[in-house]
Amino acid sequence: MKTPLPLMSNSTRRPQAGFTLIELLTVIAIIGILASIIIPTLGAVQEGVKRSVEATNLRSIGQGALAYGAANDGFMPDPKSEKQPAGDLYHTWMAILAKSGDMTDPKMYFSKIDKNFPAPKDIPASILKKDRVGVDDTMTSETQAWELIGGLKTGDAATTPIAYTRGLTTAGTWELKKGVYADWGGHMVFLNGSTATFQGGVKDKLTSTTEEKTSNIKKTVKQRGTKPTQLFYGPGGIASSIGTPSGTTPEK
């Protein structure tokens, strides 16, 4: 009996072909194009999220000012009436809320994406100094993100602003070299407790004291008396367009 011959198996395989140089370069080019599209989009999304967080911070400041007014017969923070000012009147506004316990977190006053005056890396743990009279030196040496309005009453028109993003002009736009978000726009909190975001500007979106639409925020605040305490406060001319450390008077 013959032994059957073993079957011959075809073990020869074709070598797997790799990517050619042209194919690799094509893939790299496609990845580069996708990255150039996706990365800026992600950056814009992240910046938008941070702006939303800062709008919430501004609303909290407004709510703190309203709570202060509710506890003080309707009188909201008025730096000019403070017996122990904490330096310039702009920072005294913050000190009033901090001393009342309504707004003590200094981070609320800075923007993480400030285009012109970045927030300090080491924000102080407290707005006030240890003696609770003066403002911490870091607060006064750095530039905050908001301009604040003093001397308001809780009974003023609900459309009256309490605070807004630094760099707003009387024309209703934010300045490129002073605005927190450059000229992108900004936020504003009102006496009714609401917060609005205005991309580009506030053109004819504010309400004047005569109940007319206006772009000029200085026309939204009602003056009382011959020496009004209703004033716009800001970090100073180098940063603010309307508010000043000593206060700017509204327009009639």
**199 part of a folded domain:** yes
Specify the number of domains making up the chain. 1
Domain limits at 134?
A: 27-233
* Tokens (6 digits) for 151: 């001397």
Closest CA to 61 of 133, 127, 137: 127
Mean pLDDT of the chain: 89
Q: Inform me whether the pLDDT recorded for 10 exceeds 90.
A: no
Predicted confidence at residue 19, as pLDDT, reads 67
Q: Inform me whether the pLDDT recorded for 98 exceeds 90.
A: yes
**84 part of a folded domain:** yes
**138 part of a folded domain:** yes
Q: Is the pTM of this model over 0.85?
A: no
